[in-house]
Amino acid sequence: MSPSALVEALPAATDTQVATITSRFSVNGVPARRSTAPKISGALAPSASSDMFKGPQKGKPTSKNWDHLLSEESKSRLGSTLKESAKYLATPGLISLGGGLPTSEYFPFESIDFKVPVSPNFTEAQTQETGQTLHIGKHDYANDKSLYDIHIAFNYGQATGSAQLLRFITEHTEIVHNPPYADWNCAMTAGSTNALDMALRMFCNRGECILSEEYTFVSAVETAVPMGVKVFGVGMDEQGLRADALDEMLSNWDATARGHKKPHVLYTVPTGGNPTGTTQSFQRRRDIYAVAQKHDLYIFEDDPYYFLQMSEYHSDPNRTPPAQPESHDEFIASLIPSYLSMDIDGRVMRMDSFSKVLSPGSRVGWITASAQIIDRFVKHANVSTQNPSGMSQLVLYKLLEEGWGHSGYLDWLVHLRKEYSARRDVLMRACDEFLPKEICHWTPPVAGMFHWIGIDWRKHPDVGPVELDAQERKQLVLKLENYIFLHGIEENGVLVAKGSWFRAEQDGGENLFFRTTFAAASGEQIHEAIRRLGMTIRKEFKLDSQ
Amino acid sequence: MSPSALVEALPAATDTQVATITSRFSVNGVPARRSTAPKISGALAPSASSDMFKGPQKGKPTSKNWDHLLSEESKSRLGSTLKESAKYLATPGLISLGGGLPTSEYFPFESIDFKVPVSPNFTEAQTQETGQTLHIGKHDYANDKSLYDIHIAFNYGQATGSAQLLRFITEHTEIVHNPPYADWNCAMTAGSTNALDMALRMFCNRGECILSEEYTFVSAVETAVPMGVKVFGVGMDEQGLRADALDEMLSNWDATARGHKKPHVLYTVPTGGNPTGTTQSFQRRRDIYAVAQKHDLYIFEDDPYYFLQMSEYHSDPNRTPPAQPESHDEFIASLIPSYLSMDIDGRVMRMDSFSKVLSPGSRVGWITASAQIIDRFVKHANVSTQNPSGMSQLVLYKLLEEGWGHSGYLDWLVHLRKEYSARRDVLMRACDEFLPKEICHWTPPVAGMFHWIGIDWRKHPDVGPVELDAQERKQLVLKLENYIFLHGIEENGVLVAKGSWFRAEQDGGENLFFRTTFAAASGEQIHEAIRRLGMTIRKEFKLDSQ
């Protein structure tokens, strides 16, 4: 079935549903909604839920039930006796000698001040000059100075994360993604890698398999494999995962030949995918979602690069840079809709991360999924990570809520988009200048921080006219890849990542790729590194040096 | 076999070994050792190991190998391709376009200042007056102002935690525990609950079982059960877990009757155990270690309350308070040795936590174990939590390393010991005053934050002369427990924890217990809460009110 045929197969209601939700929640709606909500509690480790902060979800369907897809481990989770006994704490006049929460008297931290930029002056130099200092006192809540303080954040918390930061995250999720079913919820995570570890244990028993892009985030594969969960790769094109390849694979699944029963989980990085830098178009996402509906697939949407969607690349540096969005609504509208935003079944666990947009060291991210799935996730986290670092949550809360607000945060994301676009352009221009086009090919990425360079190994001088078999091709690719990788480091001082590292099926593959990134090095260094990479490839392929 | 017979069965070398390691590393030795060590790298996410910071371990044996005890999951872990490719980063002149580490230019945090106490003025009031402010700049490392900064800590890290904080933790572990085998290592954790989740997955396959105290930390049971790991409880006395009961249980293990093959893991909370507040004596620990050797048990030593070892309780408030240790060495010598400190086989994974001594919200703890076990643990963490919050690590590093140093931290721990002793005394005196001694019994805890109150349910007026069977006894205990628990909350406004919550085997048990804590409430509240508890118990047992 072709992708477009699949879309036609979607129930008519679906299209309408997605299209008719017009009264979207926006930044401007935040104050009004909050003004009628109860004050956030200052109790220690109180339970929290996105339902406390969401708007009315009328007209939306409720999510499907996923009992039949959950693992034995997840189905048997009863939750945490101690965390749940916290419900009695609301009894008026109660003195608790119940929970072993230490008193904040013994947290040796009196106050914290930290300096952050003020919109729109986001650069380091500007921050030094015009930044604002945010102050956190130990007992700010009791003193009516803030809803969150050291007394609360530095104690134990709940697996959802604190109500204080969860409110911001829930509102942000509704503003950006507006999930089209009613019972969606958010829960914080100790980073998306940890969330994936837990999600795999929720949905997979030992001996099962999942699907992902053919070239995928290698840590995801390394997370799954020791659990006895095999990852099969789905064919890709310049838009990443192919819906037709996914449908074909599932429609013709041969459990005996594959050694695994038909999978029920798809792991995908839809935007600026790691390592290929590819981004699924809106239509592609709808096609894949339809395939997921057809085959009862649950989708893990790992989307840390969502806000690193860049302006289009133009090779001419003198061209006027593309206009930036003029409003937050325009910015959000310019982003390709997420799976979450089209998820009428509640079959998506979306994983969001602050790592690529604020700080990887926070180890705070969040997932959004149906209430049932969030409940399973939280029950695991309560007896594992317990809650993401309260120190991190407090710093993020102060910055996002009291420093910037939703508006300032969106400004920051627009700033990042501009910065990453400029970095991407430097790398692209260097590739245009230094890589031998007769053997290298690439598509300029429109999102993320990675650039994927393919090399036509058939043009290597040692490749003769005799057709190699698959095994020989794979061996040759691995050998060439290793030469270029090591010569790059040892002779020319450039480190790039090997394409074979990222194979879902860890078999090397028959194509030669390298991943580069424009995330970290300076413009000058990027330019020089690509010059060195070009030199290395030219030498290996015995091409004239430039 | 009696415990003392077991100790005699230990090889003679063992006793000598433990006794003859005399040249212990102490706080005073830190500067000399550091002066000859290489400077800690300022690179992003470099690998780190305790071996970089340990002293010479000559004369110590190496640990045993634990391959035969590891789970299928753990044995199959290959580690993280991306984390391990970091080794090339040390190549001089190299430009890396390899790892997707974002540049710190896009971390919107310029500096952090926070106020902490200066030893010995540790109270909140003193901190406000005489506290010091610690300053963190974004690029302190590059500017030669500190070994750790926002640029490093707010980026990705390694699963061991940062070298900067790992150095302090390793030194601290050597000063306090001085493990008697050579190849011990530390790795940070995202809290001990998370460490236990991972440790169970390292050592247990689905369908296996482990042992713990009969009354144990309920979250540990709730962590294990969904993994298909059953917890069997070992008999206890006023010193906690009984070595003879453990030996008897294992010597006569009937796999068919138990439905599980003989366990190879013991989970124990040796100091101020949760919920019973019991503390294993040195001799008891040696006895249990000998049983572990005899039956090839691996020990999870979960010891968050180690530094909450208190002075002895005396009921007379007018008695001169016990003298505090006069030196750090004296303080450390006053602590009951840990399992780690007697672990000549490397059969202990010790879990340490900052939750009870600095802040639960840090979600930073650490484990100490043999190199093999740390390697397995780190390989899991690299594809799960990745690393504990860098924000937390940075705050802890600044406080412990640059604010207090080892000396100040030990001062703080002595301060906590004094504070907790005083709180414990308030609770004990209230129990002496308000609980009906004709039915209530307890042992004053010498460590931790919990107090365990037993009630002789046989003295309840509804209990007749007819002997009840085990099932009836359990039902009656649960019923009485629930009455007292709910009447405490609803009628008298006091919340305590039910003893049955903490049963390893979750069967209710035949004895009636309540757990109280002196960790959180004020002295006045503790006094009032115990008065209310006494009232509730008296009413239920139809005793005269006071």
Chain A nearest C-alpha distance from B426 (Å): 13
- A-chain CB neighbours of B361 within 8 Å are 153-157, 389-391, 393-394
Question: CA Rg, chain A, in Å?
Answer: 25
Of A138, A496, A520, the CB nearest to B102: A520
Is the domain of B402 the same as that of B463? no
Residue pLDDT, tens place only, B36-53: 999 999 988 888 999 999
- Asked if A518's CB is within 8 angstroms of B361's CB, the reply is no
Asked which of B350, B378, B406 is the last residue of a domain, the reply is B406
* Amino acid code (one letter) for B425: D
Of B111, B117, B489, the CB nearest to A108: B117
Question: Domain with A366 in it: what CATH number?
Answer: 3.40.640.10
Cβ(A344)–Cβ(A17) below 8 Å: yes
> What residues form DSSP beta bridges with A301?
A268, A350
Chain A nearest C-alpha distance from B59 (Å): 37
- Asked if A394's CB is within 8 angstroms of B156's CB, the reply is no
Mapped onto helix, strand or coil, the DSSP state of residue B481 is helix
Asked which of A389, A405, A440 is the last residue of a domain, the reply is A389
> What residues form DSSP beta bridges with A451?
A516
Does A545 fall in a domain?
no
B463, two tokens: 């209990």
Does A460 fall in a domain?
yes
Q: Phi and psi of B267, rounded to 5°?
A: -100, 125
Chain B nearest C-alpha distance from A251 (Å): 31
Chain B nearest C-alpha distance from A385 (Å): 5
Q: Kindly tell me the burial class for residue B358, based on how many C-beta atoms sit within 10 Å of its own C-beta (0-12, 13-18, 19 or more).
A: buried
CA distance B4 to A81: 38
Alpha carbon distances (Å) from A67 to A185, A203, B289: 18, 10, 44
Residue pLDDT, tens place only, A81-112: 776 677 788 788 999 998 889 999 999 999 99
- B-chain CB neighbours of A103 within 8 Å are 519-521
Mapped onto helix, strand or coil, the DSSP state of residue B386 is coil
- Asked if B194's CB is within 8 angstroms of A361's CB, the reply is no
Chain B nearest C-alpha distance from A529 (Å): 6
Write down the pLDDT at residue B213. 98
Is the domain of B383 the same as that of B427? no
Does A412 fall in a domain?
no
The closest of B292, B280, B267 to B346, measured between CA atoms, is B292
Of B79, B127, B493, the CB nearest to A95: B493
- A-chain CB neighbours of B274 within 8 Å are 100
Of B154, B228, B450, the CB nearest to A359: B154
Is the domain of A329 the same as that of A434? no
Is the domain of B497 the same as that of B383? no
Contacts of A310 (CB under 8 A, 6+ apart): A417, A420, A421, A424, A445, A446, A447
Is the domain of B115 the same as that of B184? yes
Write down the pLDDT at residue B43. 86
CA distance A384 to B80: 21
Is the domain of B374 the same as that of B231? yes
How many beta-carbon pairs under 8 angstroms link A with B? 381
- At residue B197's C-alpha, the angle toward residues B193 and B200, to 5°, is 130
CA distance B10 to A327: 75
- Asked if A389's CB is within 8 angstroms of B94's CB, the reply is no
Write down the pLDDT at residue B19. 38
Is the domain of B123 the same as that of B46? yes
- pTM comes to 0.94
Name which of B95, B165, B442 to mutate to probe chain A: the one with the most chain A Cβ atoms within 10 A of its Cβ: B95
- Asked if A91's CB is within 8 angstroms of B489's CB, the reply is yes
Is the domain of B223 the same as that of B254? yes
What is the domain count for chain A? 2
Mapped onto helix, strand or coil, the DSSP state of residue B111 is strand
Does A502 fall in a domain?
yes
Q: Please measure the distance between the N-terminal and C-terminal CA atoms of chain B and give it in whole angstroms.
A: 47
Mapped onto helix, strand or coil, the DSSP state of residue B407 is helix
Asked which of B378, B406, B434 is the last residue of a domain, the reply is B406
- Asked if B489's CB is within 8 angstroms of A94's CB, the reply is yes
Query: How is residue A501 annotated by DSSP?
Result: G
Is the domain of A447 the same as that of A350? no
Pairing of the two strands A494-495 and B95-96: parallel
Contacts of B390 (CB under 8 A, 6+ apart): A359, A360, A361, A362, A363, B152, B153, B154, B155, B157, B162
- A-chain CB neighbours of B77 within 8 Å are 226
Question: Domain with B484 in it: what CATH number?
Answer: 3.90.1150.10
- Asked if A520's CB is within 8 angstroms of B94's CB, the reply is no
Chain B nearest C-alpha distance from A43 (Å): 13
Which helix (H) or strand (E) element contains residue A349?
strand A348-353
- B-chain CB neighbours of A112 within 8 Å are 112-115
Write down the pLDDT at residue A21. 44
- Asked if B94's CB is within 8 angstroms of A108's CB, the reply is no
Does A132 fall in a domain?
no
- Asked if A123's CB is within 8 angstroms of B95's CB, the reply is no
Nearest CA in chain B to A488: B94
Structural domain that includes position A296: 3-108+160-389
Chain A nearest C-alpha distance from B133 (Å): 9
Does B470 fall in a domain?
yes
Is the domain of A382 the same as that of A432? no
Chain B nearest C-alpha distance from A63 (Å): 25
Write down the pLDDT at residue A45. 81
**pLDDT digit of tens for each residue in chain A (546 aa)?**
333 333 333 333 333 344 344 468 999 999 999 999 999 999 888 889 999 999 999 999 999 999 999 999 999 998 677 766 777 887 889 999 988 899 999 999 999 999 999 999 999 999 999 999 999 999 999 999 999 999 999 999 999 999 999 999 999 999 999 999 999 999 999 999 999 999 999 999 999 999 999 999 999 999 999 999 999 999 999 999 999 999 999 999 999 999 999 999 999 999 999 999 999 999 999 999 999 999 999 999 999 999 999 999 988 878 887 788 889 999 999 999 999 999 999 999 999 999 999 999 999 999 999 999 999 999 999 999 999 999 999 999 999 999 999 999 999 999 999 999 999 999 999 999 999 999 999 999 999 999 999 999 999 998 888 889 989 999 999 999 999 999 999 999 999 999 999 999 988 789 999 999 999 899 999 999 999 999 999 999 999 877
Is the domain of B423 the same as that of B397? no
Contacts of B516 (CB under 8 A, 6+ apart): A97, A98, B427, B450, B451, B453, B496, B497, B529, B530, B533
Cβ(A347)–Cβ(A191) below 8 Å: no
Cβ(B268)–Cβ(B300) below 8 Å: yes
Of B98, B108, B383, the CB nearest to A193: B383
Does B522 fall in a domain?
yes
Q: Kindly tell me the burial class for residue B403, based on how many C-beta atoms sit within 10 Å of its own C-beta (0-12, 13-18, 19 or more).
A: buried
Cβ(A489)–Cβ(B91) below 8 Å: yes
Nearest CA in chain A to B381: A194
Of B73, B97, B391, the CB nearest to A526: B97
**pLDDT digit of tens for each residue in chain B (546 aa)?**
333 333 333 333 333 344 344 468 999 999 999 999 999 999 888 889 999 999 999 999 999 999 999 999 999 998 677 766 777 887 889 999 988 899 999 999 999 999 999 999 999 999 999 999 999 999 999 999 999 999 999 999 999 999 999 999 999 999 999 999 999 999 999 999 999 999 999 999 999 999 999 999 999 999 999 999 999 999 999 999 999 999 999 999 999 999 999 999 999 999 999 999 999 999 999 999 999 999 999 999 999 999 999 999 988 878 887 788 889 999 999 999 999 999 999 999 999 999 999 999 999 999 999 999 999 999 999 999 999 999 999 999 999 999 999 999 999 999 999 999 999 999 999 999 999 999 999 999 999 999 999 999 999 998 888 889 989 999 999 999 999 999 999 999 999 999 999 999 988 789 999 999 999 899 999 999 999 999 999 999 999 877
Chain A nearest C-alpha distance from B75 (Å): 8
Nearest CA in chain B to A528: B95
- B-chain CB neighbours of A159 within 8 Å are none
Is the domain of A311 the same as that of A423? no
Chain B nearest C-alpha distance from A32 (Å): 28
Name which of A82, A97, A133 to mutate to probe chain B: the one with the most chain B Cβ atoms within 10 A of its Cβ: A97
Nearest CA in chain B to A275: B100
- A-chain CB neighbours of B223 within 8 Å are 383-384
Q: Kindly tell me the burial class for residue B13, based on how many C-beta atoms sit within 10 Å of its own C-beta (0-12, 13-18, 19 or more).
A: exposed
Name which of A111, A151, A201, A359 to mutate to probe chain B: the one with the most chain B Cβ atoms within 10 A of its Cβ: A359
- Asked if A100's CB is within 8 angstroms of B517's CB, the reply is yes
Helices (H), A91-148: 124-130
Does B500 fall in a domain?
yes
Write down the pLDDT at residue A273. 95
Q: Please measure the distance between the N-terminal and C-terminal CA atoms of chain A and give it in whole angstroms.
A: 48
Which helix (H) or strand (E) element contains residue B483?
helix B470-490
